[in-house]
Structure formats: C-alpha cells, structure tokens
Amino acid sequence: MLETPVIVVNFKLYEQASGKNGLNLAKIIDTVSKETGASIAVAVNPLDFKMIKNSVDMPVFLQHVDAVEFGAKTGRINVELAKEHGIDGILINHSERRMTIADIEYLVHRAKIVGVNTIVCTNNAKVSAAIAALSPDFIAMEPPELIGGDVSVSRARPEAITETIKIVNSVNPVPVLVGAGVKTGDDVKKAIELGAKGVLIASGIAKANDPRKAIIDLVQGLM
Ligand code: G3P
C-alpha cells in the first residue's frame, strides 16, 4: 500500500515523459523521493514500465490495464500479466481512459486477488461515492475541466474536495487523492488541509522546464 500523504505523477503520453525522457524523469523523481523521504509514485505506459521499474525504488503504476481475462484478446493487457511483470499498482478509469462501472468493479476485484494497488479516478463527488462502494485502495477525484490547466483543483474547486471526502466517508472511508491543475507545493498543502491524502499530477512535472525543481516544490506541500 502507498504511504500517505502521497504524490502520484502520471506521465501520460507526454513526449517529455516517454521513452528515454520518461526514464530520466523517473530517476529524477525517485532521487527526490529518497532525498526528502516523501512518498511519491509514478504511473507510466506499459512499454516504458520495465525500464523504469528496473531503475527506481519508488512504486511504479500502469496508467491503464484492460478488464479482461487471458485469452483471445488482441492488443490487450490484463492485471494478472501486469502483476507478473512487477507492477505496484494501476490507475483505473482516468478521465482520458474512462471505463464502465462493471469493468472498474472487475479490475478492483482482480487487483485485490493478485495483490496490486488500485487508484480509481473520478470526476466528481457523486461518482466518487459510487466508486467508494467498490473499495479500491484510493479514489483520485479530478474535475475534468481543470485537467492540464494552470488553476488547481485546490484553488478553483475546494468545495468539490470537501464534498467528495464527506460523501466517500459516508459510504466507505476510502482515502481520497485529488488532481487537476496542481502545480505548486501550496496546491498540495491546501489539498491536504482540505482532507485529501495526496495529489495526482501530470503536466506540472512532465512539462516543467525544471522537473527536479517542480517536484521539490510539490514535496514541500507534504511537509
Ligand atoms: O492524471 C493526472 C491528471 O489528469 C492531472 O493532470 O496536467 O492537470 O496535472 P494535470
């Protein structure tokens, strides 16, 4: 299980965070995690996974796996195969990779059986409540309109964070991460003050001119 508070960095398919660039970025983040003692995990694409996993000590997640069993499934990967290759966890239902609730339930269930962490992404408080009933390890609530922007969820939608945590706790107290537009340590600090157990972030690190400086700044918000 991830230690909280945690910063989860989603590399998406940003060129600055893919292939050799992804490996360099992962090493920078891993070094900052070791230097500061901060709990940081990354979510990477399946092609880069092994190379990154073999070069860092922090947890490495996949950004998506398919809700399928082994068999005649061309172009798919499942959580069982991903586990065999050493993944620590999976992001599920990211805003850029939505799934049906039946598939989310299947994946959370299979991930528990094989022993990998699950972070299920949601877009608002009500969807978070529905997902809480499935008992994932984490819910990551991200208002889609703020994703990739410069205004953080902590600043623009603080009420969405508190409402999500309240409704999730009323169903099943799954720890809640928040994301979208997170860029600074102040954004992280504010999210945690509002009750979040950490943040999910992408462009603030992947597109930063100086990713090391950006991640160090974010980590200050955990302290
Ligand atoms: O997965 C994290 C994400 O969707 C938020 O993206 O660029 O707003 O940090 P970003």
CA 11 / ligand 1 centre spacing (Å): 9
CA 201 / ligand 1 centre spacing (Å): 5
Given a contact cutoff of 8 angstroms between Cβ atoms, the answer to whether 195 and 176 are in contact is: yes
Residue 223 pLDDT grade (very low, low, confident, very high; cuts 50, 70, 90): confident
Among 141, 135, 98, 97, which residue's Cα sits nearest to residue 117? Answer: 135
Q: What percent of the chain has pLDDT over 90?
A: 99
CA 146 / ligand 1 centre spacing (Å): 8
**The pLDDT of residue 171:** 98
C-alpha triplet 50, 43, 70: angle, nearest 5°: 65
Ligand 1 binding residues, C-beta < 6 A? 10, 94-95, 142, 147-148, 179-182, 200-204
Given a contact cutoff of 8 angstroms between Cβ atoms, the answer to whether 86 and 114 are in contact is: no
Query: How far apart are the C-alpha atoms of 137 and 102, rounded to whole Å?
Result: 17
Mutation probe of ligand 1 site: the residue of 200, 205, 215 with most atoms within 8 A of C-beta: 200
The sign one gets for the Cα dihedral 163, 222, 17, 211 is positive
Mutation probe of ligand 1 site: the residue of 91, 123, 203, 205 with most atoms within 8 A of C-beta: 203
pLDDT tens readout for residues 148-165: 999 999 999 999 999 999
Does residue 167 carry a pLDDT above 90? yes
Given a contact cutoff of 8 angstroms between Cβ atoms, the answer to whether 217 and 185 are in contact is: yes
**What residue ranges define each of the domains in the chain, with the CATH number in brackets?**
6-220 (3.20.20.70)
pLDDT tens readout for residues 109-150: 999 999 999 999 999 999 999 999 999 999 999 999 999 999
Residue 7 pLDDT grade (very low, low, confident, very high; cuts 50, 70, 90): very high
The protein residue whose alpha carbon is closest to atom 5 in ligand 1 is: 180
Mutation probe of ligand 1 site: the residue of 12, 91, 97, 123 with most atoms within 8 A of C-beta: 12
Active site positions, annotated: 94, 142
Query: How far apart are the C-alpha atoms of 102 and 179, rounded to whole Å?
Result: 24
Query: Two tokens at 130?
Result: 């529905």
DSSP state letters, 10-25: E-TT-GGGSHHHHHHH
Does residue 199 carry a pLDDT above 90? yes
Atom of ligand 1 nearest to the CA of 146: 8
Taking CA atoms, 90 is separated from 25, 60, 98, 108, 119, in Å, by 19, 9, 14, 9, 6
**The pLDDT of residue 1:** 83
Q: With a threshold of 0.95, does the pTM exceed it?
A: yes
